[in-house]
Copies of this chain bind each other. A is one copy, B any other.
Amino acid sequence: MNKRKGRQTVFFEVPPIIRATGTVAGKKEGEGPIGKCFDFVTDDALFNEKTWEKAESKFVKTAVSAAIKNANLEPEDIDYLLGGDLINQCTGTTYGIRDFAIPYFGLYGACSTMALSLSLASICIDGGFAKRCAAVTSSHFCSAEKQFRFPLEYGGQRPPSAQWTVTGSACAILEQGGTLKEGVKIEGITTGKIIDKGITDANSMGAAMAPAAADTLITHFKETGRKPSDYDIILSGDLGKVGKSIVIDMVGEAGYDLSQNYNDCGLIIFDGESQDTHSGGSGCACAGLTFCGYIYKLLKEKNIENVLFMATGALQSTLAIQQGESIPGIAHALSIHA
């Protein structure tokens, strides 16, 4: 157990390398501040399909294909594919990856899925069970609004705390370390536990997930003996403006100053002012696209040296909320180095 730094943190013996990523985004994401970073942007939210759910699956299929192609590989070179999404029974992922015939570990971590899939892919690789893994996730504004809130046609008002589900899919190809001298390396992971502070408002996801995010960050700093300034960037997945400020306060109270280098993917992928996204972006693809499309490239081009990337998930269902349950949050973090 010498890989263990504490209850929630493990470091890898031979840090797995992110060999390539593949990203596909919707129109609004393409028009945002990092829109130029994605492999594909489509203006058609239906992506030439008949339903939002089929479109989301096509986003997944396109992102996985792009990642494999960007890595100069074929599907049969990938030992395991790990992924999931927000839609009931992970429909986007299942139908999106159906044709690749890659051994598949299905995951459910809501918007934490990019970090969840990267974490387990790293474990499979550093543990010696796989040479290469694909980690994938997706979300779609229309399929998510329909499932979690209101039909789009209803035209429901969105309060300022509401976030905007990102449309797109992101996939990363991880490879055994040591085969390449250079590369973006996954040094270690801090795996979250479920934290539920009693929030019941599905229009305030950032607040629901913030305590889990703060818990994972504080745990990471304690277990590694690091401080926030040891990272060039600390990122949360989709807490938005509201959740971000709660995290800064909670982590600050524990003695760690996040004011200098912490941001949220939901505030990077959209320009809240000009794009009317209220508290910011959300959805599995928010952390997925921001990491795989933008942050990964900053690391690869050595514009930054290291990142603490944490995707955050609200593990709630509409049915549980209707039955009076609160929203359980979770956050998984990865320390990633250039």
Which residues of A (17-76) have their CB < 8 Å from a CB of B? 50-51, 53-54, 76
Nearest B residue to A87 by beta-carbon distance? B317
Could you list some 8 contacts between A and B, CB below 8 A?
A51-B323, A54-B323, A97-B194, A104-B194, A106-B107, A108-B108, A123-B123, A124-B127
A106 contact set on B, CB distance < 8 A: 84, 107-109, 116, 313, 315, 330
Q: Is the CB of B104 within 8 A of A191?
A: yes
Which candidate, A88-96, A280-288, A301-309, is the interface stretch facing chain B? A88-96
- A109–B89 Cα distance when bound, in Å, is 8
Q: From B86, B102, B131, B192, give the contact of A103 (CB < 8 A).
A: B192
- A100–B320 Cα distance when bound, in Å, is 19
- A109–B50 Cα distance when bound, in Å, is 26
A1 on the B face (CB < 8 A)? yes
Q: Is the CB of B53 within 8 A of A319?
A: yes
Q: From B53, B97, B323, give the contact of A320 (CB < 8 A).
A: B53
Q: From B10, B54, B97, B330, give the contact of A129 (CB < 8 A).
A: B10
A105 on the B face (CB < 8 A)? yes
A110 contact set on B, CB distance < 8 A: 89
Number of interface residues of A (CB under 8 A): 63
Q: What 0/1 readout, one digit per residue, does chain A (107-151) give for beta carbons within 8 Å of chain B?
A: 111100000100110011011110100000000000000000000
A206 contact set on B, CB distance < 8 A: none
A266 contact set on B, CB distance < 8 A: none
Which residues of A (165-216) have their CB < 8 Å from a CB of B? 191-194, 196
A224 on the B face (CB < 8 A)? no
Q: Is the CB of B108 within 8 A of A315?
A: no
A245 on the B face (CB < 8 A)? no
Q: Is the CB of A89 within 8 A of B317?
A: yes
Q: Is the CB of A194 within 8 A of B94?
A: yes
A328 on the B face (CB < 8 A)? yes
Q: From B89, B116, B127, give the contact of A128 (CB < 8 A).
A: B127
Q: From B51, B105, B319, give the contact of A191 (CB < 8 A).
A: B105
Nearest B residue to A189 by beta-carbon distance? B129
Nearest B residue to A316 by beta-carbon distance? B89
Min Cβ gap A174→B in Å is 14
Query: Known: A105-B107, A196-B98, A320-B95. Contact between A131 and B1, CB under 8 A?
Result: yes
A95 contact set on B, CB distance < 8 A: 320, 325, 328
- A319–B110 Cα distance when bound, in Å, is 18
- A320–B317 Cα distance when bound, in Å, is 18
Min Cβ gap A40→B in Å is 23
Min Cβ gap A202→B in Å is 12
Nearest B residue to A325 by beta-carbon distance? B95
Q: From B4, B104, B105, B317, give the contact of A91 (CB < 8 A).
A: B317
Query: Known: A127-B129, A317-B91. Contact between A53 and B328, CB under 8 A?
Result: no
